[in-house]
Each structure stands twice: as structure tokens, then as C-alpha cells.
Amino acid sequence: MDSDDLGISKIADKLLNEIEGSLRLILRESDDSFDDGEEMKEYNKFTKSIEQFQPLPQLLDSRLRNFINRVIQSYTNNCLYDGHDENQQLSIRIAKVFYQFSKVRGTKPVSNCLSSDISLIGYVLRRIESADAWEEHFFLLMWLSVLILAPFPLVKLDPMLPENIYQLGFRYLRTGGKERDAASILMARFLSRVDNYRYLDCFISEYFNSISWNLESNVMIKMGMLSTVNRLLKVTTLDQLRNHLDMIFLLISNLLNEDRRGLPSSILRLFIKILGKLSLFFLKQERYDSIEDILTHLLHLLSHNDTVIRYCVAKQISKIGQHLDPDSRNVILEALVQLLGISHLSKGFQDNLDINSETIDIQSYHGVLLTLGEFCRLRLMTTEWISITSSVVHRTLFVEQHRLTYSAGSNVRDASCFDCWSIFKKYHDSELPIIAVVTLFKDLMLSSCFDGDLMIRRAASATLQELIGRHGDRLFLQLSIPTDSISRYKVRLIEILDYTVLGHTQKSYQLPIQIYSELDELLYSEFMKYLLESGIKNYNYSLRKLSAQCLRRMAQISDRSDVNVIIDGLRTELLETSAEGLMYSIAELLTLLPSNSVDLSLYSSILSNFTFDFHRDGFHKGEEYLHLLRGLVKRFSLEPTLFELETVFNIIRCDREEIISEFVRLASVLNDIPEKYANKWLYYVRNGNLASAKALGYSSIMTLKNSEVLGLLHKNQLDAKLRSSLVDSISIFLQRGGNLNGHQEELIDQLDDYTVTNKGDVGSFIRLSAIDMISTNRRYFWDESSINLRMQIEKKLLRLACEVMDNVKLAAFSLLTELKGWKLQQQIDQSVLLHNPEQYFILLLKIYDANYLQDEECSTEFWKGFSFSGGSSQAVDLTINAAVYAFLRSWEELADTQKCSLLGIILSLLRASKIHHKNPRFVKMQTSCLNFVCNLLELNLQVPPEFDLKVLFVRTYNLTLGTSKISRLSVAIRTLTNLYLRDENTFKGCKGRLEWLGEKHHSEKVKAMALEGLKEIEFEQNK
Amino acid sequence: MGLLSIIRKQKLKEKEVRVLMLGLDNSGKTTIVKSLLHKDIKEISPTMGFNIDTISYKGFNMNIWDIGGQSSLRTFWFNYFEKTDFLVWVIDSSSLQRLSENFKEFDKVLKEDRLAGCGLLILINKIDVYQGDTEKLKEAVINTLQLQKLENHCWNLLCCSAYSGKNLTKGMDWIVDEYERKYYII
């Protein structure tokens, strides 16, 4: 049951009550006055409610008749009769309500609820003529289709009535919309009446001949005609249709013979349904030749490209089979199996049918398997045919056809599961050959665990539930499971093949291990065989890897497998075929062998024959090589040759995460790197190769060439990701006992990297790596003897803890807390920063007030960071508000002297700097800081009277000099305006500067902003 | 056209009803199924595993999933609840001291999302050997299982005997009627 089904099941009663309420208003059932707008609103509510029934429309049934009766009642009371013309909006709305019911529940069940008061026929006919909306036409045609079922000749009501209905029905059959569906129901019911045989003759003879058909170019009309005939065949007797059957059949037959593949699916589907029904009429006439012709057509269509057509054909063929005698049924089955083109098919179960996944016609197989499944579901097969079907399915459960970028065949596997499900559900133990049961059980277990498609894994497990639940006792006895263990096997197997677990490929590949340990090695050899023969060489790269890992674990848990023998086999196969996946599997299995127990010469030809073309080969080929090489180096002391190193450096040119991680692991076990490759390694780093940068920390190159590596950190032209990887590598080098004494400050400076590219603040990668490096190498960086170093780190972390980026902020704050040993009362994590950032800033400011308020150096760094959170254009409103409000709270708790000194520090950041004025980070910091201060002023920050705010005016003034940056000037204008409004005497100069900017600045935008500021001043003064 | 969607489509058309038999151990679930299938009920050992049986009744195919009631299996029940139409909860009238245990398990099972909207038939089994007032017994079960508070589930409670067959067909009738009421009135 999917989530939609679950949802509607839970709320169906509530929704039905809502619909009930809505209808009361829409259908004007109360005496209240009516408001068109309100009714429209209620209608929209109604559609929302009813649409929720789409997944399980049957849940409407308990109230459907009542709803439709009320629809009819309201329409009759308000719209049907002459003089109801003023209710046009209402009539359309009622019709729409009816259409909504039909759309969700289907036309047939809804039409069955319509009333059959024949006295209304005339009114309904007249109303159809005058109505404009298609919904109303649809509703009235449907209603008319019920009204005309009157049990006496229609001419008795009105001599012209049959003619009028026929013409009306015909008119609407020609339309393209939903009215056509209603018209076809009306026509079918009309033509099925015995008193209308004349019209039936006319309908069939005029339109069901090749000339009329070919003259008619409109597909809609053709569909209208065909759906009428399709419905007609359902409701009429053989006697009524006897004279027309051939005509219909001939037309369809000719059209199928002419251009079967060129017909649109919508037409073809109706052809198939009609052919299915015709065959039942022919059966009554014992016209077996015609049935054979129909079957021939259907069998041809079984390989159609459209799945819907294939399924439709499967249903019709099985329906025909249901009405035939067993011998004829077997003939159909033989014809079906012939379509599969299998040679040497015998009557018993065969486990070695010659079915080549790569060459079969997928559509044809799918169609045939669906039909076989339908035959099983309807219990139309003999034991002999069950054996044949089982033999086919035993092979098709694993069909996969490889195309250039994907593999086809999941529909064939799906249909194979359907066949098995039908067999196990519908046949008793005594009807099923035990060998087929056992074989299919094993196959389905493999599919459940190893199929790459989630739906197939679940389909296979659903099938296994039926198999185990219905035939479990017999199956497990056959598998020699002790009688007293059978129940346990049944339960545990179904438990293990859990619906949710099967939803994850990785988890489902772990299931064989669980089965092995919990169910006494059940199917161990089958799992191993599958993994070795197919799994580890799977077309799909990730499945291959998962298979290799599963193989290793399976070999590890059991002493039934000789790992050496398996490896020997795989190695031989690798040398012969070079199949992808084998090298990876060998590498996985080698980890199970004792160290240095392998004859390395056996691998020399594998390694030396390997070539890798960076431009052509897939990354997985290289990944496998690196995986194997690492295994051999690590556990069996292989020393890579120059050729092998060359290959490695060729492979790592692939910028893939998988290659990078394999190379990193390889680097950790490589002891000596020849000078040539050490240089090559650094050359790669210099040229932006991520794998080589990430792996450097594990290599001896770091010891030999550390100054060169450190030099690379300062090369700003190198990609930030690469530099961050280098920082990571240095961190690893230090962790592994590397010595970089004297370089601490140089490394700590990485906390100040603010590289910005078109990808944004990429310097954050480096800052994060640097935080991580300090965190994991505390003894190196947080040395008690070096107070200066600790001071530097503390200052920088303090700044970073106030910054805009959450991950940097959190990492810096956490590290600082640990280094300082602060005991916090509340835990700060990602969710606090996301949902309650103000809480974080309050805590931060408390820490600041308690520890750093008097420390000018630390304070300066702190406010540098805080300015970004409180005023950066990059920060989101949530962060800015949180920082500013937290500041205002903390401000209230400070004494005036503290406020003065704090404000002094903040404003000192706005001081012009000859050294930094071209540094983009400094420029940004000043703009953010000014914005932060401006935000505070606008929130009416209470500045102690002894603090001279003129400093702010002067610095703001200076910040407007020689710049055309709109962001900075706009904040400066806001600040100048605010200062002037605070005290126009003290800040007279502000207005002067605004006037200058408004008149003389070269940017029109700045001029406009300044004038806006002046206008605000004027407005406030005039208040 | 996936297998799972085919199963769903056919289920309604062919009047296939999925019934899950649950209840504490030794409540008589398997005996009820065997009795309905007219099989020998004299010797039935406790169900440790699970079995599926199909009973054709009034044109319906009832697929009954009988799952062992031993306490070790209780967590396992939740794996089966896909497209379950009815849950038959069997209570042993000869061990009423386990009623509260019944409630705990019953409540746990009903909280399972995949059972939303399914019908509930509570069968008080072994009524042929019950000595007390059956009406009072029913009331006690209704109160203990808090059936009156149930939302989204239609429910019925019957006293029955798997041994004598008493009320078993009545239970089946209720299932069929409810199913028709829900899906087949049109």
C-alpha cells in the first residue's frame, strides 16, 4: 500500500463529510440566500476534497448514490425546465460537480446512480441543445443514456425521439473532448435497444467499411465510433449483432493488415478490446477460423512498443483462452511460446533454456510473459505448461539487455515475477512440479537480494511471500530443512526480506550474509555462484562493487569457500577476458588472505598488461586497478614498478571522488616514491589535481618537500578546494608524526583566507580545513609555551565564530569552547543556528562580555566578525536580525563606560586605512560594519551622552570619499540621515554631505538616494 | 505495468480480500482457519510460522494470512500489512486474564500505518466451553480494547467456536457485507 492509499484511507470519512457539506451549498439545498462567489469557493473546496480520492476512488461508493441523487434533484429543481435560464452559472456548476464524480470514480459507476425518470427525456434533450458548457453536455448526455433505457418503444414517447437521439449522439461522437465518452455510452445504449435495429444497421453499414473509414481523417471520430462499438458488444446479444459482426471484424482486420504499427495506440487499444469481444461472439457461432484470425492479430500485437497495448493484448488472449477447451488453450500457449524463439523446448521443467538476454526481443518477451501470467492467474494452465512457464521464467527473471548508457529488461523481469506470483497463488502443491518450486524459490531469493531495480526486488519478495505462505512446508522439506525448523525458516525469511530494507540497494546486498548466519547457511552456494558468475561482473558499476563486497563477506563468514581457489579462478578469467569488476573482486578477496602469503609474480602480468586511457576509459577501470594495487602493496609488500606508478599517475587525472579516495588509500601504503614521481606528484598538485593534493599528507614527499608544499598554500591562483585539500594533507602529515615546527603561524594564517570567486566564498573551505587541522593537532598548535600562538588562534577563532557562514561559525565556536575549556549551559549545534540564531548570538555576546570586553585586540577581531553577521549584504535577514537584536539585549546590560569603550572599538573599524584600503575583505568588513552600526541607530540605540558620535560622522563621511560603490554609499546615506535627525546642530555636516552627494555625485543612483535622504529629513522636520 | 500495480488492479475486480489473522498465542487462529476450510481440527500444534489459505465464500476469494501468535513473533506482524482489508483479532475466552495483554498488542498493531482504514473483526473464541455471561464478556472486551474509541475502522465483535463452528460464517458474512458496502454497492 503506498502513501497515497494510506492517506486517503485515514481521512476518507472526514472527506466524505466535507463533500456532503460542500454539496449542500453548491446544490442550493438550504433556504439561505445564494452568493455566486461563495458557491464558487465551495466548489473549489469540493474539487480539492474529491481529488484526494484518486488513489482509492472506491471509497466514495458508500455515499455516491446519495450524492448523485442530490445532483439530479438540484438540477431538476433549478435548471432543467423552461424558465430556469437565469440559473446558467448554477447549471454549469452542478454539471461540473457531476463531471468531478465521473472523473474520479469512472463514468460507469456514476452513471449507474443516475435516476431513470423517463418523463424527463424531452427536457433533457432540449437542455442539451441550449447548454453551452461541455461539462453540462457531458452530464446531460450521461443522464440521457440512462433515461433512454425505458422498457417500451421510444417512439411511443415521441415519434421523432429515436431520430433526434441518434443525430444528437452522432454529433457529440465527433467532438474531441469528454462529451465523446458520454456520447459513446449514449449511442451504445441506444443502438442496443431492439426497437432501434434500423439505426444499428445504419450505424454499422455506413461507418464500418473501409471506404468510409479511410475517408474519415479525424481520429476523434474514429475513437468515438470504436468506443461505441466496444460498449455495444458488451450490452447486445448475438442475435442483434449477428449481421454486423463480419463487417466490424473485416474492417479491423484489414486495417491491422495494412499498417499495424502505424496506428495510434488509442485506436489500437479499442481494436484489441473489440477483437476480444468479437471472439466470444464467434465462439458462440463456433466460427473457429475467425477466432484463429483474431488470435493471429493479437499475437502480432504482443510485441508492440507500447506497454499498455501489450498488457491489453495479454488480457484479451487470456480471456479468449478462458472460454476455449483445454486443447485449443494449449494451442494458444504453444503459439505464445513460439514467439519467444526458444529452441529445444521440452514438456518438463528445464533449467537450461537457451535464452540470450542480449539478443531477445524485449517487447515480445514482455508481452508473452504477461499473457502467460494471465493464464496462470486464471488457472488456465496444466502442470505441463506450468513446467514450461517455470523453465522460461527461470531464465527471464535475470534478463538484462545492455544499451549504450542504460540497460533494458526490467519489464521482462517484472512480468516474470508476475508469472511466479500467479503460479504460486493459484495452484495447489499437488499441481506444481517440486523442481520448479525449488528452482524459482532460489531465483526469487537472488532477485530479492541482488536485482538493481527496487521494484523488482519488492515484486520478487511479494512473490516469495505467496510461495512461502502457500507452499513453504513442501519447499523446505525438499530443501532438507528439518521439520521442526520449517516454521522458523518461513518466519525469518519473510522478516529478512523486509519491504523497507529492500528499498535500499546497499542493504539488500547485505541480506545473504544475514540469511547465512540466521538460517543455517541457506542458499550459500547459490548466492556465491550468482555473485561469481554475474554479480561481480554486472554491467552496473555500483552493483558490481556491492557484489564484490558481498562476495568478500560471504567468503569470510564460511569455511565452505576456499578463497585461494576463487581468486585463482578470477585471475585466470581476468587474464582471458579483462572483464570489468574482476580486479576489484580479487582485491576484495585478497584482504582475506594472511599477509605476505601471495605469490606476487602471479599478478605481475595483470598489472603490467593494464593500460588506462584517461580520455577513453571509464573511471571505474582505474578505480579497480588502484584498489588491487593498494591491496597488493599493503598486505603483500608489492613494490610498484615505474610502469605501475606511471599508470597510477595516469589514472588520477580522473577527477572522480572514487579515484581520489582510492589514491589516498594507496598513498598511505606507498613507502618510497622515486624522485621522478615525487616531482610529478607536486607537479600534479601545482596544476590543480585534487587526488594528489588530498593524498599528499600520507606520502613521504611531505617530509622531503614540506617547504615547497607550504609555499603552495600562499599561491592564491591555485583553486581554493585544492588549497583546502593541502591543508587537510598537512593536518594528516602532522597527525602521522610529521614535523613542521616553526610553521605554525604560517598555517594559522589559513584561518584568514577569504578567497571569493564566482562560486562565492570558496575561502571558507580553507578556513574550515584550517579549523579542523588545529582541532586534530592541538599539541602542535595549542602549545602552552607559546602564548603568542595561542593568542593568535584565539583571536581568529573568535572572529570566525561571529561570521555569516553557519558551518564555519559552528566549527570555530566548538573548537574555541574546547580550547578554552568553557562549560556551556546549552549545546550549540546546527539546528540552533538554523532555527534560533539569536540564542547563539546572545551566548556569544555573553562570552565576549565576560572574557574579552577589556581586551582590545580580541575585541577588534570579534567585532570584525560580528559586523558581518550584523550588516553583511551576504547575510540573510534572519542572521542580521538575530545578531542585531542579540546586540541590543546585551547593550542594555552594560554600564555606560563599557558602552563607550565598546562603541569606540566598533567605530575604530571604520577608520580609513592606507594599508588595507584596497583589500576587498577589508572594504567589505567596513561596509558591513557601517551597515551594522546604521541598523543599530535605526533601532534607536541609546548612546551614552559622554560618547561623541561625531567620530561616526567623520568616519562615515570619509567612507563616502572616492568611492562609487552603491552598497557602501547607500548605507552611508542612511547613516548620515539618521545622525542628522538625531541632532541637527551637532551633525549639520551630514546634511551638507547629503546635499553634495545629491547634487554632485557622478552616479545618478547615488544622487537619487541622497535626495531621498534629504526628503526624509524634510519630512521629519515638518512633522 | 508493474507487478504490484497489476495485483492491486485485479484485487478489486476479482473480489480478492486479504484477511490477517492475529491474536495472542493459543487463541485458536489456525483452528478457525482449518474449521473454515473444513479440515481436521483435532490436532493442531502452535503456529510458529505462517500460512496463507484461500477460502472461497459468496463469490469472494478470502486470502487468509495466519501468522503465529507466540510472543516472539509479535514484532514480526508488521511486515505483512500491505493492502490488508480486514484484521481478524482472535481472543481466547478461556484465558481472560490476558485481556490487558491483548489490548497492548492490539493497540500496537492498530498504530501500524499500513493498517489504516482496514476492517476489524474481533472473535472471542472457545465460547463453547465458556461458562459465564457472554454479553458481559463482550462488554468487557469492548471496554478493554477500547473499540468505541476507534476511528477509521469499521469493527464487529462476535463470540465463536472454532471447534463447533459457531458464528464463523457469521463473521465471514460480516466481512463480505462490509467489503461490499465499502466497494461494491455500485
Cβ contact A688:A655 at 8 Å: no
Per-residue pLDDT reduced to its tens digit, A353-390: 999 999 999 999 999 999 999 999 999 999 999 999 99
- Do A112 and B186 lie within an 8 Å CB cutoff? yes
Q: Which of A64, A418, A487 has its CB closest to that of B49?
A: A487
- Rounded to the nearest angstrom, the gap between the alpha carbon of residue A671 and the centroid of all alpha carbons in its chain is 44
Residues 6+ apart with CB under 8 A from A199: A162, A166, A190, A191
DSSP state, residue A760: B
What part of A 363-392 touches B (C-beta under 8 Å)?
370, 373, 377
Exposure string (b/e) for A187-226, b if CB count within 10 Å is 16 or more? Answer: bbbbbbbeebeebbeebbeebbeeeeeeeeeeeebbbbbb
Asked if A58 is an interface residue toward chain B (Cβ–Cβ < 8 A), one would say yes
CB half-sphere exposure, A565, CA atoms < 13 A: 5
The model's confidence at residue B75, banded by pLDDT at 50, 70 and 90, is very low
Residue B171 labeled ligand binder: no
Q: Which of B1, B68, B118 has its CB closest to that of A311?
A: B1
Cβ contact B179:B85 at 8 Å: yes
Residues of A in contact with B76 (CB under 8 A): 491, 494-495
- And the C-alpha cell for A28? 442550493
Dist. CA A414–CA A457, nearest whole Å = 9
- Do A417 and B50 lie within an 8 Å CB cutoff? no
- And the C-alpha cell for A352? 537450461
Written as one letter, the residue type at A181 is D
Sign of CA dihedral B67, B71, B72, B75: positive
Dist. CA A52–CA A68, nearest whole Å = 18
The pLDDT of residue A808: 93
Please name every residue paired with B54 in a beta bridge, in sequence order, or none if there are none: B63
Strands B16-23 and A407-408: unpaired
Residues 6+ apart with CB under 8 A from A836: none
The pLDDT of residue A974: 93
Residues of A in contact with B152 (CB under 8 A): 9-10, 12-13
Q: Which of A9, A414, A466 has its CB closest to that of B116?
A: A9
Please name every residue paired with B123 in a beta bridge, in sequence order, or none if there are none: B90, B158
Cβ contact A302:A310 at 8 Å: yes
What part of A 110-129 touches B (C-beta under 8 Å)?
112-113
The pLDDT of residue A174: 84
Asked if A680 is an interface residue toward chain B (Cβ–Cβ < 8 A), one would say no
- Among candidate residues A264, A266, A339, A262, the one with its CA nearest the CA of residue A298: A339
- Rounded to the nearest angstrom, the gap between the alpha carbon of residue A518 and the centroid of all alpha carbons in its chain is 34
How many Cβ pairs closer than 8 A exist between chain A and B? 108
Sign of CA dihedral A283, A289, A295, A301: negative
Dist. CA A23–CA A29, nearest whole Å = 8
Q: What is the pTM of this model?
A: 0.81
Asked if A106 is an interface residue toward chain B (Cβ–Cβ < 8 A), one would say no
Cα–Cα distance list, A252 to A183, A267, A288, A303, A536 (Å): 22, 10, 18, 18, 50
Asked if A1 is an interface residue toward chain B (Cβ–Cβ < 8 A), one would say yes
Dist. CA A856–CA A940, nearest whole Å = 26
The single residue of B10, B70, B146, B148 carrying the catalytic annotation is: B70
Dist. CA A360–CA A789, nearest whole Å = 72
Written as one letter, the residue type at A558 is S
- Do B52 and A469 lie within an 8 Å CB cutoff? yes
Q: Chain B residue closest to A489 (CA)?
A: B49
The model's confidence at residue B114, banded by pLDDT at 50, 70 and 90, is low
- Do A455 and B2 lie within an 8 Å CB cutoff? yes
- Do A491 and B12 lie within an 8 Å CB cutoff? no
Instruction: Work out the angle at residue A954's Cα, subtended by the Cα atoms of residues A952 and A956, and round it to the nearest 5 degrees.
Output: 65
- Do B83 and A109 lie within an 8 Å CB cutoff? no
Written as one letter, the residue type at A700 is S
- And the C-alpha cell for A285? 457461432
Chain B: give the shortest CA distance to residue A170, in Å.
Answer: 28
Residues of A in contact with B54 (CB under 8 A): 425
Per-residue pLDDT reduced to its tens digit, B77-89: 433 335 678 889 8
Count the residues in chain A: 1023
Dist. CA A708–CA A691, nearest whole Å = 18
Asked if A319 is an interface residue toward chain B (Cβ–Cβ < 8 A), one would say no
pLDDT < 70 regions, chain A: 1-7, 9, 31-34, 83-86
Residues 6+ apart with CB under 8 A from A104: A50, A51, A53, A54, A57, A60
Cα–Cα distance list, A44 to A23, A37, A51, A54, A93 (Å): 11, 11, 11, 16, 11
Per-residue pLDDT reduced to its tens digit, B135-184: 888 888 888 888 888 777 788 999 999 888 899 999 999 999 988 877 65
Mutate to test the interface with B, among A8, A9, A476 (most CBs of B within 10 A): A9
- And the C-alpha cell for B88? 481478524
The pLDDT of residue A178: 87
Chain B: give the shortest CA distance to residue A496, in Å.
Answer: 10
Q: Chain A residue closest to B1 (CA)?
A: A307
- And the C-alpha cell for A319? 480471456
Q: Within A397-453, where are the H helices?
A: 410-426, 434-450
- Do A61 and B185 lie within an 8 Å CB cutoff? yes
Asked if A458 is an interface residue toward chain B (Cβ–Cβ < 8 A), one would say yes
Residues of B in contact with A470 (CB under 8 A): 51-53
Chain A: give the shortest CA distance to residue B24, in Å.
Answer: 16
The pLDDT of residue B77: 45
Please name every residue paired with A675 in a beta bridge, in sequence order, or none if there are none: none
- And the C-alpha cell for A261? 504499427
Asked if A308 is an interface residue toward chain B (Cβ–Cβ < 8 A), one would say yes
- And the C-alpha cell for A943? 548612546
Per-residue pLDDT reduced to its tens digit, A866-922: 999 988 877 788 888 899 999 999 999 999 999 999 999 999 999 887 777 778 888
- Within a 10 A sphere around the Cβ of A945, how many other Cβ atoms? 8
Dist. CA A387–CA A391, nearest whole Å = 6
Dist. CA A733–CA A735, nearest whole Å = 5
Mutate to test the interface with B, among A63, A424, A491 (most CBs of B within 10 A): A491
Dist. CA A955–CA A939, nearest whole Å = 20
Chain A: give the shortest CA distance to residue B2, in Å.
Answer: 6
The pLDDT of residue B72: 41
Asked if A138 is an interface residue toward chain B (Cβ–Cβ < 8 A), one would say no
Asked if A459 is an interface residue toward chain B (Cβ–Cβ < 8 A), one would say yes
Cα–Cα distance list, A543 to A460, A537, A547, A585, B110 (Å): 18, 9, 6, 12, 38
Please name every residue paired with B120 in a beta bridge, in sequence order, or none if there are none: B87, B155
What part of A 15-44 touches B (C-beta under 8 Å)?
none
- Do B7 and A462 lie within an 8 Å CB cutoff? yes
Chain B positions touching chain A (beta carbons under 8 Å)? 1-4, 6-7, 10, 12, 47-54, 65, 68, 73, 76, 79-83, 113-114, 116-118, 151-152, 181-186
- Do A470 and B52 lie within an 8 Å CB cutoff? yes
Residue B79 labeled ligand binder: no
- Do B79 and A418 lie within an 8 Å CB cutoff? no
Cα–Cα distance list, A59 to A500, A604, B8, B16, B120 (Å): 27, 69, 15, 16, 17
Query: Where are any strands of DSSP class E within A878-951?
Result: none
Residues of A in contact with B52 (CB under 8 A): 465-466, 469-470
Cβ contact A694:A728 at 8 Å: yes
- Do B183 and A61 lie within an 8 Å CB cutoff? yes
Residues of A in contact with B50 (CB under 8 A): 468-469, 490-491, 494
Chain A: give the shortest CA distance to residue B82, in Å.
Answer: 5
Q: Which of A112, A307, A487 has its CB closest to that of B68?
A: A487
Classified as helix, coil or strand, A757 is: strand
Sign of CA dihedral A87, A89, A91, A93: negative
| B97 catalytic residue (yes or no) | no
Chain B: give the shortest CA distance to residue A109, in Å.
Answer: 6
- Do A10 and B3 lie within an 8 Å CB cutoff? no
